[in-house]
Structure 1
Amino acid sequence: MLARILAVGDELLLGRTPDTNSAHIARWLTDRGFHVDRTVVVGDPQRDIEAALKAATHGAALVLITGGLGPTDDDRTRQALAAVMGVKLSERPAAWARIRRWYRTNLPTRPIPEINRRQALAPRDAELLVNDRGTAPGLSARVGRCRVACMPGVPHEMMAMLARLDRPLKRWFPRLRRPAIGEVWIAGVGESAAQELIGDLLTEQHPQVGITVSEKGHITLRVVGTASEVKDRTRALRHALAPYLLPADGPAASLVTLLAKDGRTIAAAESCTCGQVVAQLGAIAGASAVLRESLVAYHEGVKRARLGVTPALLRRRGVVSEAVAAAMALGMRRYARADLAIATTGVAGPGGGSPATPVGTVCMAVADRSGVAVKTIRVRGSRERVQARAAAQALVLAFEVACGRLGTRPSDLI
């Protein structure tokens, strides 16, 4: 079944607010068996919402709209829906009572603004969708053969309302069946090379196989189809990509699980990533069993005093080098008495680069009892992107070392 997403708000068009709702809704729809063929962002003017809604409902089974349900003059989604339906708005007493109750419960000392009464307006024959996180009820109605559901634009309100749509969805689309979905995660190989490895396993239907590169640097292959199709294709993909596989719960969770199972521990010494590596490890339940210690060794003096990086090495190889990353990892492993240690050093930007180490250069290392493994990456983009990608890649490197896929070598060979 075909579904479309319509996001309403001038703030989205102007770039002041990122449209996180549409990505979440698209995943939700796909997981329930819909094919999403477009997401449209439209401004606040009612005529623009009407035009976008008419176009979206043409040929679609379901259109989900976010935004424009507030109480102010620029919130025009309910008016646009009524106009497209060819009906008038009228106040729903139950909706107004719920709005008043929300104010009494959550803002008991404030008077209830009369302007909020607008949020109790709904087109004739439209269903009200309960909003238990705010004052704006959602709306559901039919436009021709298409079902339209309108939800608030505030993300936490939208997500709560979306979670409650499963029950009415079964009523609206009784023949809808959830597809089986499988994912294969890989790292250490580029998108083009991955496609060459899998060949004709990348198909558009029966099953549908898509390949995407995440912002953190790993590649995800997503398989959608029947249970047997997904099982067979996922197995074939894993066989074709065996040297590059990552567990689908991500490198941080996989690393914590693996180390806990083996009774091993880990520590981290971070420079350019400023604690992002250990933050991802610490976010995993059970990390306390494996995470020994962390250190943000940003200043060269800290690298020397706490990690044993020698001034001679810093002069000879430079602070952003695989040799210094290796020395940091070995020093952290020794200092924390951990089985493994991760280290990062780089130029996150926007300044500080050089011809030898341009902005976006990050060297990382993982040390174990046998030695150290090193890697250098170059990331384009903002400081935040460089740090996030580097932290993710450092965790991938650590997982590869921990599971034995990647061997370490003596530091004097680096």
Structure 2
Amino acid sequence: MPNMETNTMHVELLIIGDEILDGTVVDENSTWLGSFLNDKGMRVQRQTTVPDSRESIANALSQIVDRADLCICTGGLGPTDDDLTLETVAAVAQDELIFDQKIWSQIVSRYAGKPVPENNRKQAYVLKNGTALESEVGTAPAARIHIAGCTVFVLPGVPMEMKWHCKTHLIPYLDGLNRPNWTKRTLRFSGIGESKLATMIDALRLPPSISLSYRTASPENHLRLRSLDATGLDEAIAKITDSIGPAFIGFDEMSLAHALVARLKSKHLTIATAESCTGGLIGAELTSIPGASAVYLGSIVSYSNGVKSGQLGVKEGDIVRHGAVSEIVAAQMAKGVCDALSADVGVSVTGIAGPGGGSIEKPVGTVCFGWYGPGLNETTRVRFRGDRDQVRRRAVGFAMDRLRREYA
């Protein structure tokens, strides 16, 4: 049972499958389980991945049940000879498998009168001293059993089936425990690096009862806070947002694009984008937000100089004299897309994303921006580090963040 003295529940994952270890299949389950359990106020303390081997499964599970309050095991519940999980769990628990006629009848009914492969009988065996978890989404014999003070959930490796069992069987089990009530919030920031953000947060000397975790999700940085003291958490959040200032975007699902769309709506402004090196990525970010059609009119992807001059009205002489990657060109692109699409606000991006195309004067990563709109007529030049994708993503974030701050 959970260690309530420390308000924690020691949770571990046991992921089983040769296909996970050899890279044939990407392990989606552990990522999903980590997020799922975190939303329930629990953190996974450790994850162990082992092959389809009785010895490997038994050794790992024996160690886990000595440490953990809860173990979620996935994989190895199929009908084939290399599906060894349930029989190994039975051995570790000093239990036995018994044939369950009801489950076998359910498996047979799934075949709708067609012949049932004999090896499917394996999936009708259940733990004698465990709880069989019935399924509406597959034939894998999921189960729950207590071993040495640890509750072990044995779940299918197929992600869809595993998630169904978590929502159907794991949630009611967790809800029935006398667990602490954690309050959680995620704060999102833009235009500030993770190290600087952490330094500023450290200076606030928040109480130790508040747990902090950082995550970079370019172009944003996220700070997740957890506490058993909801009032104290609210006070800490107020201190953080006051200290960080305009780099704070919003809470939880309020992304940079969400915030920009919301602010343009509140100002009754429309926006259009003129993109060269980002190739429409700003438009993609904005149109991913429900309701963005109220503010976003469209984009002109001006990858070639001909489109810059023909569609956006950029002077050909300026392209020749200053180059396509220049602030003077970015300024005309931003104004030109407003004129072309009758938008209130225009943003432009023109740069060298790499890996080639750079020079001493304009190295790879050089990006020029233009913003045009009510009270705004601005350009700037920035050099971003990273590969082609990173340069493009950082440019998208930089372009949107400037507008978010302008129309706060």
Q: Same fold (TM over 0.5)?
A: yes
- State how far apart, in whole Å, the 1-side matches of 2:44 and 2:205 are: 19
- State how far apart, in whole Å, the 2-side matches of 1:148 and 1:264 are: 55
Structure 1 contact 95–120 (Cα < 8 Å) conserved: yes
Structure 2 contact 352–365 (Cα < 8 Å) conserved: yes
Match of 2:186 among 177, 183, 186: 183
Query: What amino acid does structure 1 have at the position aligned with 2:126?
Result: A
Alignment map for 1:241-390 (pairs within 5 Å): 241-248=244-251, 249-369=254-374, 370-374=376-380, 376-381=382-387, 383-390=388-395
- State how far apart, in whole Å, the 2-side matches of 1:120 and 1:297 are: 62
**Does 2:199 correspond to 1:196?**
yes
Structure 2 contact 70–150 (Cα < 8 Å) conserved: yes
Structure 1 contact 365–375 (Cα < 8 Å) conserved: no
Match of 1:88 among 90, 96, 112: 96
SS at match of 2:67: coil
- State how far apart, in whole Å, the 1-side matches of 2:363 and 2:156 are: 44
Aligned-pair CA distance for 1:184: 1.9
- State how far apart, in whole Å, the 1-side matches of 2:314 and 2:58 are: 64
- State how far apart, in whole Å, the 2-side matches of 1:90 and 1:361 are: 67
- State how far apart, in whole Å, the 2-side matches of 1:96 and 1:384 are: 52
Deviations 1:13-59 (A, max 9, x none): 33444333222222222232323222223333332222222222222
Deviations 1:281-301 (A, max 9, x none): 222221221121123333332
Partner of 1:155: 159
Residues 263, 123 of structure 1: CA spacing in aligned structure 2 closer, same or farther, 3 A cutoff?
same
- State how far apart, in whole Å, the 2-side matches of 1:137 and 1:21 are: 17
**Does 2:24 correspond to 1:21?**
no
Match of 1:143 among 147, 150, 154: 147
Deviations 1:174-233 (A, max 9, x none): 21133001222212122222223223446684011222322x231212111121121111
Partner of 2:127: 123
Partner of 1:59: 67
Partner of 1:32: 40
TM-score by length of 1: 0.84
Equivalenced residues, count: 395
Structure 2 contact 191–398 (Cα < 8 Å) conserved: no
Structure 1 contact 65–151 (Cα < 8 Å) conserved: yes
- State how far apart, in whole Å, the 2-side matches of 1:29 and 1:72 are: 30
Residues 29, 178 of structure 1: CA spacing in aligned structure 2 closer, same or farther, 3 A cutoff?
farther
Aligned-pair CA distance for 1:266: 1.6
Aligned-pair CA distance for 1:63: 1.4
Structure 1 contact 303–309 (Cα < 8 Å) conserved: yes
SS at match of 2:246: helix
Larger Rg: 2
Query: What amino acid does structure 2 have at the position aligned with 1:69?
Result: L
**Does 2:224 correspond to 1:222?**
yes
Aligned-pair CA distance for 1:241: 0.7
**Does 2:235 correspond to 1:232?**
yes
Aligned-pair CA distance for 1:62: 0.9
SS at match of 1:58: helix
Structure 1 contact 203–209 (Cα < 8 Å) conserved: no
Unaligned runs of 5+ in 1: 404-414
SS at match of 2:123: helix
Structure 2 contact 144–154 (Cα < 8 Å) conserved: yes
Aligned-pair CA distance for 1:267: 1.9
Partner of 2:5: none
Query: What amino acid does structure 1 have at the position aligned with 2:41?
Result: G
Structure 2 contact 144–152 (Cα < 8 Å) conserved: yes
**Does 2:399 correspond to 1:394?**
yes
Range with bigger deviation, 340-349 or 245-254: 340-349
TM-score by length of 2: 0.85
Query: What amino acid does structure 1 have at the position aligned with 2:404?
Result: F
Structure 2 contact 126–141 (Cα < 8 Å) conserved: no
SS at match of 2:277: coil
Query: What amino acid does structure 2 have at the position aligned with 1:376?
Result: V
- State how far apart, in whole Å, the 1-side matches of 2:11 and 2:216 are: 24
Query: What amino acid does structure 2 have at the position aligned with 1:43?
Result: P
- State how far apart, in whole Å, the 2-side matches of 1:121 and 1:357 are: 68
Structure 1 contact 326–374 (Cα < 8 Å) conserved: no
Unaligned runs of 5+ in 2: 1-8
Aligned-pair CA distance for 1:102: 4.3
SS at match of 1:162: helix
Structure 1 contact 100–112 (Cα < 8 Å) conserved: yes
- State how far apart, in whole Å, the 2-side matches of 1:386 and 1:114 are: 56
Aligned-pair CA distance for 1:336: 1.3
Match of 1:73 among 81, 89, 106: 81
Partner of 2:15: 7
Identical positions, percent: 34
SS at match of 1:288: helix
